[in-house]
Structure 1
Amino acid sequence: MSDDETLSLVQSYLDALNANDHDAALALVSEDVAHDPFDGEREIGRDRLRWRLGLEARHFDERFADIALMSAPGGVRAAAEFTVRGTYRATAEGLPEATGQNYTLPGGMFFEVDGGEITRISEQRNPVQWRAALSPSR
């Protein structure tokens, strides 16, 4: 893929997440996609990513704003830096009680692309900042 095609693929993935269209997002990843969530261990496979997206949507309403996309020469790797704007709407196991806390944090994702599909997604955000933002006493 060209650099522009890779950037378009990544933008489409982020747009699908922002629209809460998990089916559209999953259609852009490989069957054996490697997903590195910022708060856990690597998960392999489209079905595992589907489960993770559903779990996150149950607890959080997040949107990515101020997106800056970058691509390495050759279109095999790309990165997205953005601002996460979210609402913590249902208490998640191991996290503070949800009371509708709103939060804004910097974040990013790194991607690998092969054959027109996303084959790796590595999420980045500061987990200490994120937990602090979820604290109802902030």
Structure 2
Amino acid sequence: MDAKALIAAYYDAFNAGRTDDMLALLHDDVEHHVNEGKIRTGRALFAEFNAHMTESYRENLTDMVIMANEAGDRAAAEFVVNGTYLKTDPGLPEANGQTYRLPAGAFFTIRDGRIARVTTYYNLADWMAQVGA
């Protein structure tokens, strides 16, 4: 599977809520660089993060544009996050079903045909304003 198809499959699984399919596309020692957060290494920590996110947020990504370098070992995606804040996340405003629409992007490293790094960026201040902080 080429880099663009790999990233498309990852986000298709995300939008369908198939986190196990997302995990299957990750390298065993994947590095997950979370916006405004610590780097998590390995599939287990990625799965833990996904479980938390699924409990606190319902999101669907639209306006997806995927780019990759010629070597196929680096990729990027730009998209819009359309979400609902379901459960209060510690340290963030109280959740009461607020909706948000947030431009975002992600960068990827690909190794051995799997995603070895995911780095996600979005404007946290924009999100906070949208959920009423």
Same fold per superposition (TM over 0.5): yes
For residue 44 of structure 1, report the CA deviation from its aligned partner.
0.3
Q: TM-score, normalised by structure 1?
A: 0.93
TM-score computed with the length of structure 2 as normaliser: 0.97
**Alpha-carbon deviation of 1:135?**
1.6
Q: Secondary structure at the match of 1:74?
A: coil
Task: Select 1:57's aligned residue among 54, 76, 87.
Answer: 54
Question: 1:103 Cα shift?
Answer: 0.3
Q: Note the residue ranges of structure 2 that are not aligned, 5 or more in a row.
A: none
Q: CA RMSD in A?
A: 1.0
Residues 43-82 of structure 1 aligned to structure 2 (within 5 Å): 43-82=40-79
Query: Is it true that 1:113 corresponds to 2:110 in the alignment?
Result: yes
* Identity across the alignment (%): 38
Number of matched pairs: 133
1:130 aligns with 2:133: no
Partner deviation per Cα, 1:23-60 (whole Å, 9 max, x = no partner)? 00000001100000113011100000000000011000
2:36 to 22, 29, 39: 39
Indicate yes or no: 2:91 matched with 1:89. no
SS at structure 2 position matched to 1:10? helix
Q: Which amino acid counterpart does residue 129 of structure 1 have in structure 2?
A: D
1:8 equivalent in structure 2: 5
Measured after TM superposition, the shift of residue 98 of structure 1 is 0.7
Q: Structure 2 CA distance, aligned partners of 1:129 and 1:91?
A: 17
Structure 1: tracts of 5 or more residues without a match = none
